Structure 1
Amino acid sequence: MNAPPAGATVEAVAPPGPPRPAEVAELARLHARAQGIDGRVLDRVVAAAATEGWSAVWARHGDRHRAAGRPLHACRHHALARWPYPADPTADRSATAVVDAFDAWRRRVGGIERLVLELPGGRVAAWTAGLDPARPRPLVLVMGGIVSVKEQWAPFLRAARRLGVAVVVTELPSVGENTVRYGPGATDLVPQLLDRLGPQAARCGVHVVGLSFGGHLALAAARHDPRISSVLTVGAPVHALFADPAVWAALPRTTTATLEHLTGTRGGDTPALLAPMALGPAELADVRIPVRYVASRRDEIVPRSEWELLARVLPDLRWVEFDDAHGAPAHLTDTRLWLVGHLLRLCGDRRAAALDLALALRGRAGRTGRTGHPTDPATGRPR
C-alpha cells in the first residue's frame, strides 16, 4: 500500500457507535414474545426506556417480580434488561439477577440441576434435566444465539421427562455465564461439552438444538463428532454472514455490536476475526446427519443463501420457511411444534405424528422442503 503524500492529513475512521434504541427494541420483540411477555408490556417499557434507559426500566420490572415472589417472571424481565449484552452497570447487575432468580425458581419446582464445567477455554454453566446414568435417554443439548441466555429455556427443561429425553441447556461462548471467548476456537465447544458429560450421557444419541449462531456451532461440530445424531436450528448463519463483506455491511448494528462485545474486537477487526468460521460446501460435505432448519423469508440477519447452500450440500435436510423476520417471532408456536415434532421423530417417538397434526390444524405450516433420503429412527442417520 502506498504511503500518503508528505504533509497530507489522514482522516481517522470513527468506530461504529452503539445500536439505535429503536432497533434494539424492535429486535428484542422476539425474545420478549418467546418469554411470554405481553406485547403491551413491551410497548410500555419501550416508551419509558426512551427517557429512563432500556436496562433501568426492565431491571425495575424484574426487581418488582422478585420482591413479589415471582422468580421466573423476574428472570425473564432481567434477561431483557441485559439484552442484547450487558453494556452498563445496571445490565451487569441484571445478568447476575437472571441466574439468581432462575436458581430460586428451579429449586421451587424441582427436577432441574445446575452444572458448572471447566473447559480448556473457560468456564461453562448449564441447567440440566433428566440426566441419569442409570436410565440413559436421548440427550438434547440446547444452545441459543449471541443474545440468548440459558435461563430462557425453563419450559423445555420442565418438559424433559414428558418428552422422554435428557436436556442440557447452556450458552454460546461469551454469552451469559460462558467465559469461553467467542471466535474461531468456539467451534470446539460442543465436543468439549460432550467430553465432560461423558460417554453414558451420549449413549442414546445427541441431538443439538442450536438457535441462530448456536446452530452454526452445532453444524461445525457435527462435521467430525460422531456422537451428534442430528442438528435442529432456527435461522443459523452458515457461510455468507462470515465470508461476504456485503452481508456483514447490511447487518443490524445490534448484531455487529453484540459480536464486537463477544469477541472483544471493534470495527473491521470483527469480521476479519470471524471469517475463518465460514462453512462452505467443502466443510458442509462432512455433515452426514439429519439437519432440521426453520427459515424466515424476511430474515434481516441471515440471508436466504445460507439455507439454500445447506439444501445443495446436505444429504438429509428438512426445512420449513415462514414469511417472517429473523427467528420467526410471529410463528413461535409453529416453530416449537415443528422442531419438537422433528426431535421426537429423530428419537423414534411416535408422538411426533400428533404434533404434525397440531401444526397442520393451525393452518400455518409454512412452505417446506427436503433433500436426500429418509432417516432410520434407530440411528438418526440416513437410510
Structure 2
Amino acid sequence: MNSVEELKRFVAVHAKGQQIPDFDRVLDRITTDGEGPGSWTGEWCTEAERLEDEGRDLEACRHFIMARFPFTGTPARLAAAERSVAAFERWRAGSGQDIHRLEVEIEGRKVGCWQSGLSATAGRPLLVLMGGNVSVKEQWAPALPVFRRLGMAAIVVDLPGIGENPVPYDEKSHRFLSGLLDAVADRADVTRTYALALSFSGHLALRCAMDDARIRGVITAGAPISEFFTDAGWQRGVPQITVDTMAHLTGTDLAGLRHWALPTERLAALDIPVAYVASTRDEIVPRADVRLLHRHVRQLRVLEHDDVHAAPGHVEESKLWSALSLLRMRKVLGPQRPALGLLYTLARLRARSTSAL
C-alpha cells in the first residue's frame, strides 16, 4: 500500500500536465490507499464515472489514469487502467482527431500504440513519444496531431512493462525502441527519428541511441543517467513510490539496477543533440547525473528549474521548450519556431512572476 501523502505529492505534475484543473478537490476526499469511498482508486474512479455519464470521455480517461497511479499493483488499479484506454478510444473515435490505433509485434509480443501521420508514401520523419515509469501513453496521445502538423509522423507508446506494452522492462529494454522503428520503417523515415522520452524512458532512449544511429535527437526531462543507479547513499533517500514502482516493473530493488548506469564513454561518443529539463531540487534524480551530462554530452541543452522532480510548477514552460528543442534539432526555420519561442518566453515570465508571489 502506498503512502497517501506521497501519492498526493507526486501526482500533481501528472494532473497539471493533463489539464485536470480541480484535482485538489478529488485529493481532499482521499484518506487511504485501500479501496472504496475515501480511497485513492475509489475517489478517482468515482469522478471518472461521473464524467463518463456526462459524455466527457477524454476527461474521464484522465481521471482513470490518476486512479491507476503509480502502477497497476492491485485489481482495482488494473481495472482503472483498462477503463482509461476504453475512454480514450471512445473520445478518439468520436472527436475526429487525427489519432489512430497502431498495434505492432516486438519480441513476439503485441504492443498497442497511438499514431498520427504514418504513411507508406509520405516519408515523414518520426517522433516517438514515451512517458516515464508512472505514466501511460493516453496522457500524451492527445498531442499527436500537433506533431503531425509540424510535418512528422508521431507514435506514442508505453514504457516497457506498462499499459499495453508487455515487453519486459530490463537491461535490454532499449532494444524495444529499435524494434518499434523496424516495425514502422515502411510508413515513416525512421532514419530521421527523434525521441521525446520523459523520465525513465529518457534513460532508455539515450541507451538506444548509443547503438541505433536512426535516432537523431533525444528530448527528455528528469531522466536518470548513472548515479541514480550506482549511488547507494542517494538511493536510500529516493521516495518510496519510485522504489516500489521500479520493483514492480523490474522485479528487483534499486541496488539490483547498478549495471543500468549509462557508460560515460558511450555518452561522449553520441553525435546527436540532447535536450534535458532538470530540476534543482529533484528528489529522484541526483544532480550528479545532470553534471555528468554536461561533462560528456557534446550537443547538450539544459533547461533548469528551481523545482522538484518533473517540475510541476513549470509544466507549460517545459512543454514549449521541448517542442522548440525538437524544431532546433530538425533545423526547422519556418514560422512555427519564432512563434513557439515567443510562447516559451511568455510562459517562462509567467512562471517567474508566480514563484515570486
Is the pair's TM-score, using the shorter chain for normalization, greater than 0.5? yes
Q: Which residue of 2 aligns with 1:373?
A: none
Select 2:326's aligned residue among 343, 355, 365.
343
1:288 aligns with 2:288: no
1:90 aligns with 2:76: yes
CA distance in 1: counterparts of 2:163 and 2:249, whole angstroms = 10
Q: Which residue of 1 aligns with 2:27?
A: 46
Q: Which residue of 2 aligns with 1:165?
A: 152
Q: How many residues get paired?
A: 344
- Where does the alignment leave 5 or more consecutive residues of structure 1 unmatched? 1-17, 368-383
Give a deviation string over 1:124-180, Cα, whole Å, max 9, x none.
211000111211222110110001100001331131332221110001111111111
Select 2:61's aligned residue among 71, 75, 99.
75
Select 1:194's aligned residue among 139, 164, 181.
181
Q: Which residue of 2 aligns with 1:15?
A: none
For the Cα contact (< 8 Å) 1:322–1:366, is it kept in 2?
Answer: no
CA distance in 2: counterparts of 1:141 and 1:262, whole angstroms = 21
Q: Which has the larger radius of gyration?
A: 1
> Could you tell me which amino acid in structure 1 is paired with residue 77 of structure 2?
A
1:314 aligns with 2:300: no
Q: Indicate how the Cα distance of structure 1 residues 61 and 362 shifts in structure 2: closer, same or farther if over 3 A, else same.
A: closer
- Where does the alignment leave 5 or more consecutive residues of structure 2 unmatched? 33-37, 353-357
C-alpha deviation, 1:259, in angstroms = 0.6
Q: Which residue of 1 aligns with 2:340?
A: 355
CA distance in 2: counterparts of 1:325 and 1:155, whole angstroms = 26
CA distance in 2: counterparts of 1:164 and 1:240, whole angstroms = 37
Judge which range, 350-359 or 224-233, deviates more. Answer: 350-359
Q: Indicate how the Cα distance of structure 1 residues 138 and 100 shifts in structure 2: closer, same or farther if over 3 A, else same.
A: same
Q: Which runs of 4+ in 1 moved over 4 A?
A: none
- Secondary structure at the aligned position of 1:254 is classed as helix
Correspondence 1:1-383 to 2 at 5 A: 18-38=1-21, 41-50=22-31, 52-110=38-96, 111-120=98-107, 122-198=109-185, 200-203=187-190, 205-265=192-252, 270-350=253-333, 351-364=336-349
- Once superposed, what is the RMSD of the aligned Cα atoms? 1.8
C-alpha deviation, 1:334, in angstroms = 0.6
CA distance in 1: counterparts of 2:216 and 2:351, whole angstroms = 25
C-alpha deviation, 1:82, in angstroms = 0.2
For the Cα contact (< 8 Å) 2:147–2:153, is it kept in 1?
Answer: yes
CA distance in 2: counterparts of 1:57 and 1:365, whole angstroms = 32
C-alpha deviation, 1:366, in angstroms = 9.2
Q: Indicate how the Cα distance of structure 1 residues 327 and 188 shifts in structure 2: closer, same or farther if over 3 A, else same.
A: same
For the Cα contact (< 8 Å) 1:143–1:172, is it kept in 2?
Answer: yes
Q: Indicate how the Cα distance of structure 1 residues 20 and 364 shifts in structure 2: closer, same or farther if over 3 A, else same.
A: same
Q: Normalising by the residue count of structure 2, what TM-score does the alignment of the two structures yield?
A: 0.92
CA distance in 1: counterparts of 2:58 and 2:83, whole angstroms = 11
Q: Normalising by the residue count of structure 1, what TM-score does the alignment of the two structures yield?
A: 0.86
CA distance in 1: counterparts of 2:246 and 2:110, whole angstroms = 19
